[in-house]
Structure 1
Amino acid sequence: MKHLGVKLIITFGVVLMAFVVGRLLWIENIATDEGEIHLEIIDQDGTIVFDEVLIYHEGDTFFNILDRYFDLTCANSSYGADSSCSYTFTSFAYEGKVILGISGEGFSVASDWSNTFLAFYVKHEDDYVLSTLGPSQIPFEDQDEFRIVLESVWEWFGLSKSHKAMKEIALIALFAAVLFVQQLALSMIPNFSFTTLLLIIYTKLLGFRKTSLIIVVHVLVYNILSPFGPVIPLHIPSMLIGWLLIPILLTTILKSWESVHRLAIFGFFFGFLYGWVFIPVSVFVSGTPFLAYLFMDLPFEFVMAVTNFLGILWLYEPLMKILRVQLYKFRQATQ
């Protein structure tokens, strides 16, 4: 306990010292006289939408100048859009306003704070240099020149827009992880899981291709990471084909099935169909008698059928609504 107390005291002292030093080194860049600056505003296409001289007064900050001439949209505490610009960040790392959008006569340049951002440049000699300070702290003097540019995060880091596909890959990985976790958590009860329900939802939301990728990832990961050990290698193709039947059927002959009752019926019969997919390997490769396998597996198929039916009947619609909204927000953010 004594050592813990000493560590806490030292930690508190270091944090306090860092805070005090930071405040002492803090310089608030406020105009001490009147003057003017030149400002260019450039949209994401590289078009100059504003190119004029702005007059400032004694006591102005750079943010005050912008606020006087333009309609600004700032970030609130959760980085949501706030047209009132009433929130000021006061963290140790940054103090001041965060500007998400700037509008004037005949133009509007706005960042989504996900794929784009407003970059502030200061002209130094013959080049514009990216400012390391926010709009509330940018220093300025009479006749200084500035440039505000809406830039792409991807391009700024040297990435092409095709790298947005990385987010789709992340989405596939996330959905595959949900499949793995729920199946692992419920694996103590044979054939009891919500895998069928989730794959139906994925198919309806993402389509055949992405759902198929999720299934491939899920089958591989489950057989590699499952603490209960992998499926017999000969059965892995059957497992893969069995789950792939869901997106195949729901995007072809059963494409028009949208109602929860029809999908619940599909889930019920799929419980048996999934078990039957393993019959060829079990009978012709493993040598298990056909009728013996069929009767032994029938109770497990029935458990899966009932689980599918009830799960889809009760959970399909609420889960579909939630995931549809979240997927819409995700895709809006990645446009």
Structure 2
Amino acid sequence: MRTFETAQAPHRPPARSLRSVMLLVCAALLPGTLVQAVMLGSGVIVQVLLCTTFALLVEAVMLRLRGQPLSRFLFDGSALVTAWLFALCIPPLAPWWIAATGMLAAIGMAKQAFGGLGRNPFNPAMVGYVLVLLCWPLEVSRWGATPGDWVPGVVDSVRAVITGAFPGGWDAVTGATPLTVEHELMARGMTLPEIQADARITGSPHPASWSALAFALGGLALCALRVVDWRTPLSVIGGIVLLATPPWILDGDLNASPLHHLLSGGLVLAAFFIASDPVSGAGTARGRWLFGFGFAALVLVFRAWGPHPDGIAFAILLMNGLAPLIDRYTAPRRFGQGR
């Protein structure tokens, strides 16, 4: 008698495989990455490749330790997305041990230690970034030149990443992000219009503005393809506009405009590619609205009073911790049962 194999539901195959979804995310990240590479130098590409290499190595070792097949999980694309997002968060000339430590924390601790993809309570890329930020705050704060200054080439970028030291003359083209500079100068009594009027401080135009637009285009494409739920990025952007507009109207000298918040730092990147993570974020439709709005509120709090002017990674991790509670109170009611 012939027997048939049985399997658990659902029996309907998914519209897209996991690998195809991850490749779509990488394709959406590509425009913003290329803009950053043009503005900040080829070190951006070097960091993406380096982080990807370390991520695959850590993933392979952890899969072996857990007794999982490499052929099934190693090249599903999830490690590539984590490495890519982490690489965009660190300076293009950061030394190689930043990438190695970040991937060890992101893939080894935040992902595989919890059981692999789909079981991680916190966003792996942000866990890795917070760890290296706390361990090496100086190295993670040294960003590249603004447009118009000298931008290092491939050979110089690779040398700096490997040696961890800048050759003579490079100190002049390295520095903090505009958000950090604004934070420090406002503490000294300068107003935002005075700071933003100085092109030596903000750069004109600054790479963050152009890359934010490029990441927004990629994120909108993911929303159109239904890879990303549109509720999360819309609630993040809407939360920034709703919460940042009243202080800006009341006192524009001390409070930045909503547009300035959106185009500064990595807020747009986080809205479309990090906060929208279906694993570590909220899982219900109403929960995604609350998750995005809460993330936007925390970002503004960190930018106003926190020691790290951007605060995106810390805000993401805090909201990741609240995601199960949000899902519990926003889950739809089961038929025939009360809440």
Larger Rg: 1
Shorter-chain TM-score range = under 0.3
Q: What TM-score comes out, normalization by structure 2 length? A: 0.21
Higher relative contact order (CA 8 A, sep 6+): 2
Q: What TM-score comes out, normalization by structure 1 length? A: 0.22
